[in-house]
C-alpha cells in the first residue's frame, strides 16, 4: 500500500519505533494519529504537525476511544500500526503480570483488528501492521511473557493474513532484534534486575543494535511492497531456519548460551552456542 494521502494510526508513538514510523508516514504524505500512554506523545505529534491521542490501548474501551478519535481527526483509518508493547515481568511472572502483558502485546492487536477488519473488507482495502520481535520467532532469554506474547502477536498477524488477505486486508509483522529504544535499554528511572540485564545483553550482542529510523524504513518498504514478514536484521532468518531444521539442537544451544550469559559456561560452550545460532 502506498502511504501517500492515507490515514494512519500508530500506537506506542511517543518515542522509539512508533515515533519513527509516524515520521516516515509523515514524510510520505500520510495523515497520522500518534497514540501513547506517555504524555510525551503530544510533543512528538506536534513536532510532526500531526494528531495525537493520550490513552491506554490495553483495554477494549481504550481501543474503542482511540479509533473513535482517529476517525474524527482523520476522517477514517487506512493503516493501523499496532506498535505499543512492554517487556513485562522477569521469569514466569504472576497472574497479574500475564494479564497486563497479554492486554498490551496481544489483545490490543486483536481488539483493534476486530473493529477495523469489517470496514476494511467492506471497502476491499486496509493495512494492519503488528510490531512483534525476533523473540516471536526465536524466543528470548529472560521474561517468559515477552516471548510468549510476541509469538502470539506474530501468529495472530499470520491468521489475519490467511483469513482476510484475499479480501483486501494487507498484513505485515515486524520482527527485529535489538533496536535503540527504551524497551531495550530502559528509561533510566530504575536499576535493572539481574534477569533484565541478562535479557538486555542477549539481545544487544545478538546483532547490530539498529536505530528506530532504520527499522521504520524497513517497515514502510514492506508496506509499500506488500511483504508480510519484516526482518530488519536479516540474520534472524538464518537463525529461524536453523531452529526449524533441528529443534533439539537449538534448545541445547539456547541453554548453553544462557549459561554463558550467567557466567556458568566456558569458551567451548560459547563457541558451540554460536554455531547453533542461539543468539536470539
- pLDDT on residue 207: 66
Which residue do the cell numbers 515515533 mark? 19
Number of CB atoms found within 10 A of residue 81's CB: 30
CA 46 to chain CA mean position, Å: 24
- pLDDT on residue 267: 42
E strand or H helix at 57? none
Alpha-carbon distance values, 79 to 46, 55, 76, 116 (Å): 20, 19, 9, 10
The span from the CA of 181 to the CA of 28, in Å, is: 23
Domain 7-233 has CATH 3.40.50.970: no
The span from the CA of 207 to the CA of 280, in Å, is: 9
Closest CA to 135 of 186, 100, 174: 174
- pLDDT on residue 276: 29
- pLDDT on residue 171: 98
Which stretches in the chain have pLDDT values below 70? 182-207, 264-280
pLDDT digits (tens, 9 = 90+) for 20-47: 999 999 999 999 999 999 999 999 999 9
Instruction: Answer for the pair 62, 44: CB distance below 8 angstroms, yes or no.
Output: no
Environment class of 120 (CB within 10 Å of its CB; exposed 0-12, middle 13-18, buried 19+) = buried
- pLDDT on residue 269: 37
Structural domain spans, the chain: 7-233, 235-280
pTM exceeds 0.85 for this model: yes
- pLDDT on residue 260: 85
Tell me which residues are annotated as active site.
Answer: 146
Which residues fall within 8 angstroms of residue 117, CB to CB, at 6 or more apart? 126, 128, 160, 164, 169
Residue 147: phi and psi, rounded to 5, are -65, -45
The span from the CA of 54 to the CA of 43, in Å, is: 11
Instruction: Answer for the pair 134, 176: CB distance below 8 angstroms, yes or no.
Output: yes
Q: Which long-range contacts (CB under 8 A, 24 or more apart) does 237-244 make?
A: 238/277, 239/134, 239/137, 239/138, 239/277, 239/278, 239/279, 239/280, 240/137, 240/138, 242/276, 242/277, 243/137, 243/138, 243/277
Grouping H, G, I as helix, E, B as strand and the rest as coil, residue 143 is coil
Residue 151: phi and psi, rounded to 5, are -60, -45
Amino acid at each position: 500500500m502506498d502511504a501517500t494521502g492515507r490515514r494512519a494510526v500508530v500506537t506506542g508513538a511517543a518515542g522509539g519505533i512508533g515515533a519513527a514510523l509516524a515520521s516516515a508516514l509523515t514524510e510520505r504524505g500520510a495523515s497520522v494519529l500518534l497514540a501513547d500512554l506517555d504524555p510525551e506523545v503530544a510533543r512528538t505529534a506536534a513536532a510532526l504537525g500531526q494528531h495525537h491521542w493520550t490513552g491506554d490501548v490495553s483495554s477494549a474501551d481504550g481501543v474503542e476511544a482511540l479509533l473513535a478519535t482517529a476517525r474524527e481527526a482523520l476522517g477514517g483509518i487506512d493503516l493501523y500500526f499496532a506498535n505499543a508493547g512492554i517487556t513485562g515481568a522477569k521469569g514466569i511472572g504472576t497472574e497479574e503480570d500475564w494479564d497486563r502483558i497479554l492486554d498490551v502485546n496481544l489483545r490490543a492487536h486483536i481488539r483493534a483488528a476486530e473493529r477495523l477488519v469489517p470496514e476494511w473488507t467492506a471497502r476491499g482495502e486496509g493495512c494492519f501492521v503488528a510490531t512483534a520481535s525476533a523473540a516471536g520467532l526465536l524466543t528470548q532469554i529472560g521474561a517468559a511473557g515477552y516471548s510468549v506474547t510476541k509469538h502470539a502477536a506474530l501468529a495472530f498477524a499470520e491468521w489475519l493474513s490467511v483469513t482476510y488477505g484475499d479480501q483486501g486486508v494487507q498484513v505485515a509483522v515486524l520482527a527485529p532484534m535489538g533496536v535503540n529504544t527504551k524497551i531495550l535499554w530502559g528509561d533510566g528511572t530504575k536499576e535493572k534486575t539481574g534477569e533484565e540485564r541478562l535479557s538486555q545483553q542477549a539481545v544487544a550482542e545478538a546483532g547490530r543494535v539498529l536505530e528506530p529510523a532504520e527499522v521504520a524504513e524497513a517497515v514502510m518498504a514492506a508496506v509499500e511492497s506488500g511483504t508480510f514478514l519484516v526482518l530488519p536484521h536479516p540474520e534472524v532468518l538464518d537463525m529461524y531456519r536453523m531452529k526449524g531444521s533441528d529443534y533439539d539442537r537449538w534448545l541445547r544451544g539456547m541453554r548453553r548460551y544462557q549459561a554463558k550469559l550467567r557466567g556458568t559456561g566456558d569458551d567451548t560452550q560459547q563457541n558451540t552456542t554460536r554455531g547453533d545460532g542461539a543468539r536470539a
